[in-house]
Structure 1
Amino acid sequence: MGVEITSKIILFTDKTLEVKQALKNEVCTKKGTYYFKNDSLFLNKNDGSLHDVVFDSIYYFIF
C-alpha cells in the first residue's frame, strides 16, 4: 500500500501560497505563487522538485 499524505494549500492576499504536506512524523512546507485566469486557479512552485504529488493533480472547485 502507498503512504497516506495530508496536504493543505493556503492562499495569501499577496498572491503567494504555502503547501503543507503532513506524513506520520514530519511536515513539509513549500512556497510559491498563484493567479486566477477565467475560472481557473494556477499554482506555481518556487522550487523545481520533480516528484511532487500535490502539484501533479488537477483540482476542480464549484462555487
Structure 2
Amino acid sequence: MDSPVRLGQLAFGVAFATIAVAWLLPGTRIDAAWLAVISLLAVGAAIVVAAVVTIVRKAL
C-alpha cells in the first residue's frame, strides 16, 4: 500500500461499501447523502495522507 492511488482506491471502495450497507440496513438514521459526503471526504483525506507519506519516504 505504498501508492497513494492504491490507498485511494481502497478508501473509495470502503466508502461505497459503507453506503451500500447503510442502504440495506433497516432503520438506519444516517442520511445516505451525508454518509456519501463524509465517505468522500474520508477518501480525499486518505489520498492526501498517502501522498504526504510517499513524499516523506522519497525525501528520506
TM-score, normalised to structure 2, is 0.28
User: Which structure has the larger Rg over C-alpha atoms?
Assistant: 2
Q: From the two aligned structures, give the one with the greater helix fraction.
A: 2
Q: From the two aligned structures, give the one with the greater strand fraction.
A: 1
